[in-house]
Structure 1
Amino acid sequence: MLILRVIVTMNPSYGGPCQGIRNSIPALSRFGIDNEVVCFDEDDVDYGIEDSFLIHRIGRGVGPYSFNSRLESWSAKNLGRFDIVIVHGLWLHTSFGMYKAWSKFKRHRTKFPSLYIMPHGMLDPYFQKSKDRRFKAIRNSIFWHLFEKRVINGVDGVLFTCEMELELAKQAFFGYNPKKAVNIGYGIQRPPAFNAQMDGEFRAISGLKEDDRYFLFLSRIHEKKGIDLLVKAYMNLTDSGMFSSLPKLVIAGPLLGRYAELMQKIASHQNNIVFTGMLQGNAKWGALYSAESFILPSHQENFGIAVVESLACGTPVLITNKINIWKEIDEGKGGLIEQDDAEGVRNLLVRWIELQDKERSEYRKSARKTYEEYFTVESAASQFCKRLEIDAHTS
C-alpha cells in the first residue's frame, strides 16, 4: 500500500499538518503502509531534520493561493503509482489543483488512486463567524462556491481528526455534501522521558523557584486562544483574596504583535504572572511535566497538539468546550472542561484549586491514560487503517 500526501510545505516551522504527517508515517509503516509527500517547497530547502520518507519538492507556488502549474504535470506522471492520495488542508492550490489533476488522470485510466481531503479544522464555522476574520471569511465563501465545494463533494471522502471536527464541518457552508466523512483520529509521538535537566532549563528561563507551583499556558499568544479571559480571571482571584495562595501563571508563547503587548501590559502589576516567550526542547518538556495543570481557554481548536502533549506528560488539562477533543478528555477524566467565557475560565481555575491533593493525583494518572487510550500515533494509525478499510499487515 502506497499513500501520497499533498501539502503546501513540509517546513517544520509551520507545525500543524506537516508535523502530523511526520508523526503518522512511522506508525503507518508498521502496518505495511508506505508514504511519499509532494509539496510546494524549493528543491534545495533545508528543513533542519532528516526525514525517513521520500519528499517530492516541486517548487514554490505563486501568490497567496500558492498556484503551482507543476502540480498537474507531476501528477500525470506519478499518480498511477499510488493507492491513496490525501490532500492536507484547504483554500490553497493543493486542494483544487490536485482534484483537477486526479479527475483528468482517472478519465484516461482504468487504475487510479482514491482521493481524500483532510481539512485539519479548516471547515470549522468559527472561521466564518469570527469578527477578526471578516475579509478571510468573504474570501473563503467565494473560494467555496468556485472551487472547494467541488473538491469536498467530488473526492472519495473527507478525513477528520476527531468526531467534533466532523460534526462542525456540516455547519460552515451551504452545499456541503461529501460522499463520505470519516473520523480517522489523530495522534502524537510519546514525549521524551522526564529528567531533572528539563525542569532546570525551564525554571532558568522562567525565573521560577524549584518549589513554585504553576499553571501553564503554552501556545500562540492570539485572541483566539482566550488569554485575555485567563489573565483577567487569574488577577480577579488574586485580588479577591479567595485563596491564601495561588499557583503562579506561566504564559509561554512568542511575544509578537499588539495582542501579546496588551496582555503583558494588563498583567504588568501582577508578580505571579510570568511571560517566558517561546519554549522549545528541554525547557518546553520541563514546563509541561512540572506544571500543576495545563490551561488553554481557546475559542476554537481543532485538535490542540500542546493539549495532548500535556496529557502524554501526565499533566491534567483545563480547557474549554471549543477544543474539539474535549469530549474524549472529559470521558477519560484527563482534565476539567468549561465554557469559553469569563465565568467558565474563572471556574476552571477555582475548581482546580479547590481539589484535594489526592484528587489532583488521580487526574494526573488519568491524563496519561487518556493519552494512551485516544491519542497515541499507534492508535491513530490503527484507526486510520480500520476506517479506510485498508488491509494492514503489522510488522
Structure 2
Amino acid sequence: MSLRILHIIGDSNPAMGGAIEGVLRLGDAYRALGHSQHLLTLDDPSDPWVAACPSPIAAMGRPGPRKRFYPVRAIRWLRRHAREFDGVVVDGLWNGSTLAARRVLPGSGIAYCVFPHGMLDPWFRQSQPRKEWVKRRLFRVNEGPLLRGAEAVLFTTGRECELAAQSWPGWHGMAEKVIGFGTGEPPPETGEMHSAFRAAVPDMKTRPYLLFLSRIHPKKGCEILLEGFAAQRDLRDRQLVMAGPGDTDYVASLQALADRLGIGDRVVWPGMLAGDAKWGALYGADAMVLTSYQENFGVVVAEALACRTPVIISDQVNICTEVQQADAGIVCRPETTSVAEALGGFAAMSERERSDMTLRGRALFARAFSMRETAARLIDLFADSAEMEKQLSYS
C-alpha cells in the first residue's frame, strides 16, 4: 500500500538547518520506498525555496517578518485536507505551525506523530531563560495537548527522550518512541564537487583543512572551536573552513576573534555551501568538526560519516555515544582545552589510523544513520494505524 505522509513544519528554507534538511531527506526515502511526502509550512508562497522543494508544499504563510505568527490560513487548509493523508508528522515545536496542528489534530481521529527535533532539551531552558516562562505556559495549552494526543512522540535517540522527560513537568501520557534519524546516501564523489568547493574558497588553493559545516550560531561552540584551533600548534599546516549561514554581526565578531588569536589568515568564511560545493567540502576535508553546546542529532555528522570523513564532535551532540562506541570519531567536551586536545589527538593519528576510523564511520552510518531506516519505521507506524482503523470500521 502506497502511503501519503504530510509533514507540518514552520519553514522549508534549507538555511534553517537540521530539521528541514532531515524532513527533505525523509521525503527522498519515502519516494524510494514507494510512498509520497507533502509539506504544510508557513512560508510565503513566493519564497524561492518553495518552488525548489522536491516535495509538494502548501505554503500558508504571509509576506513580511511576522508571517509565522498568523497560522489562520494553515488551520483552514489543515481542516480541509488533513484526511487526505495516511499520516501526519508535526516537525518541531514553539511556532505557528504547531499552533495550527494543535487546533486541528488532537481528538480528530487523524493519525499523527510529533517530532520535537531536540526542542524539549533542557539546554534551552538554561540558555534562554526569558523564553522559558512563555514556553511553560504554551506547553500547558498548546504543546502539551498536541504531544499527548499523538500516536507517538518521536525521538532521534534514547538520550533525547530521557532529556525531554527530565525537562518538562507533567510529562505523562506521552507515547514515546525512539525512531532514529539520519540522512540520505550522499552522491558519489566526483572531481566536479572538489572544483565547486575550491571555486567557493579560491584563496585556499590545495591546502589541507578542517571543516565546520553548520549554522554559524552561538550554540554551535564556534568560539571554542576557534580558540582550540589556535591553541593546537600541530595544526599550523591546516586551515579551518567555517562554512554556513549566520547573523552578520555574529560572524564579524568571530572573524575579529580569529584575528586576535592570530589565525585570521588560516580561517575562511565561504558562507552557506550547497550542492556540489557542499559535497566537495565534505569529501575533501581532513575532518569535520562540530563542538556544539547542544545538538539534538547533527545531520552533518551523519553526512560526514557517509562520506568517509572523520568527525570530531562534542559530547553534547546526542549521537556522540554511538560515535564513541563505534570508535568512528573523536568526542570532546565543549570547552577550549578539551577541543584543543581532541584536535591534537587527531593530528597525531597516523594515516592508517585515520583510514580505519573512516571505515568504521561509514559502517556506523549504514547501520544507524541511514534515513531510509527511519522512513521505514514511520511508514510501518502509520500503516499499522491505518490497518487498526480499518478493522475498527468493520467491527
Identify whether the pair has TM-score above 0.5, normalized to the shorter chain. Answer: yes
| Structure 1, 139-148 or 334-343: larger mean CA deviation | 139-148
Deviations 1:283-341 (A, max 9, x none): 32222111111111110111212222211211010001100111222233221111112
1:89 partner letter: G
For the Cα contact (< 8 Å) 1:255–1:261, is it kept in 2? no
Q: State whether residues 9 and 90 of structure 2, in contact with CA within 8 Å, keep that contact through their aligned partners in structure 1.
A: yes
Aligned partner of 1:157 in structure 2 is 152
Q: CA deviation at 1:276?
A: 2.4
Alignment-derived partner of residue 10 in structure 1: 12
Separation of aligned partners in 2, 1:343 and 1:92 = 37
Q: Give, in whole Å, the separation in 2 of the partners of 1:66 and 1:255.
A: 22
Structure 2 counterpart of 1:102: 105
**Alignment match, 2:69:** 66
Amino acid at match of 1:117: V
- Answering whether residue 227 of structure 2 is matched by residue 232 of structure 1, we say yes
Q: Which residue of 1 aligns with 2:249?
A: 258
Are the equivalent residues in 2 in contact too, given 1:65–1:93 (CA < 8 A)? yes
Deviates more, 1:87-96 or 1:377-386: 377-386
Length-normalised TM-score, structure 1 = 0.86
Query: SS state of the match for residue 207, structure 1?
Result: helix
Aligned residue for 1:172? 167
Task: Say which is worse superposed, 297-306 or 189-198, in terms of deviation.
Answer: 189-198
Which residue is 1:109 aligned to?
A: none
AA at the equivalent of 2:365? Y
Counterpart of 2:331 in structure 1 is 337
Match of 2:40 in 1: 38
Alignment correspondent of 2:204: 208
Change (3 A) 1:199 1:70: closer
Larger deviation, residues 8-17 vs 115-124: 8-17
Q: Could you tell which deviates more after superposition, 192-201 or 309-318?
A: 192-201
Letter in 2 for 1:348: A
Compare 276-285 and 369-378 and name the one that shifted more. Answer: 276-285
The percent identity for this pair of structures is: 30
1:116 matched to 2:109? The reply is no
The yes-or-no answer on 1:273 pairing with 2:266 is: yes
Give the direction of change, closer, same or farther, for the CA distance of 1:386–1:327 in structure 2 (3 Å limit): farther
Change in 2 beyond 3 A, CA 1:388/1:84:
closer
8 Å contact from structure 1 (residues 255, 277) kept in 2: no
Q: Residues 156 and 209 from structure 1, CA distance in 2 versus in 1: closer, same or farther, beyond 3 angstroms?
A: same
Provide closer, same or farther for how the CA distance between residues 88 and 77 of structure 1 changes in structure 2, counting only shifts above 3 A: same
* Residue in structure 2 matching 1:305, options 293, 296, 299: 299
Structure-2 change in CA distance of 1:78 and 1:197 (3 Å) = closer
Q: Cα–Cα, structure 1 residues 118 and 178, in superposed 2: closer, same or farther, change >3 Å?
A: farther
CA contact (8 A) 2:106 2:149 kept: no
**What is the alpha-carbon distance in structure 2 between the residues aligned to residue 192 and residue 298 of structure 1?**
27
- The verdict on how the C-alpha distance between 1:247 and 1:91 changes in structure 2, with shifts beyond 3 A counting, is same
Q: 1:233 to 1:77 in 2, by over 3 A?
A: closer
* Equivalent residue in structure 2 for 1:135, among 124, 130, 137: 130
State the partner residue of 1:352.
Answer: 346
Q: Which of 361, 364, 371 is the aligned partner of 2:365? A: 371
Q: Residue 75 in 1 paired to residue 78 in 2?
A: yes
Once the two structures are overlaid, the 10-residue window that deviates more, 326-335 or 7-16, is 7-16
Deviation of 1:88 after TM superposition, in Å, equals: 1.1
What's the C-alpha RMSD, in Å, of the aligned pairs? 2.7
1:90 aligns with 2:81: no
Provide the aligned length of Structure 1 versus Structure 2: 379
In structure 2, C-alpha distance between the alignment counterparts of 1:213 and 1:41, rounded to whole Å:
39
Q: 2:217 matched to 1:222?
A: yes
The answer to whether the 8 A contact 1:60-1:66 is kept is no
Structure 1 residue 159, shift from structure 2 partner? 1.0
Point out the more displaced range, 186-195 or 379-388. Answer: 379-388
Query: 1:174-193 maps to which residues of 2 (within 5 A)?
Result: 174-193=169-188
* Matched residue SS, 2:186: coil
- Gaps of at least 5 residues in structure 1 are 107-111
Structure 1 segment 21-60 matched on structure 2, within 5 A: 21-47=23-49, 49-51=51-53, 53-60=55-62
Q: Which has the higher helix share?
A: 2
The amino acid of 2:219's aligned partner reads K
Distance 2:285 2:184 in 1: 20
Cα distance change, pair 362–164 in 1 and its aligned pair in 2 (3 A): same
Which moved further from structure 2: 254-263 or 150-159?
254-263
2: CA distance between counterparts of 1:353 and 1:272?
20
So what's the TM-score if we normalise by structure 2? 0.86
Q: Deviations over 1:236-295 (max 9, x none)?
A: 223xxxx49543322223464333222212222326622222133333222211111111
5+ residue gaps, structure 2: 387-395
Aligned mates of 2:182, 2:339 — CA distance in 1: 27
Alpha-carbon distance change, 338 to 11 in structure 1, aligned in 2, over 3 angstroms: closer
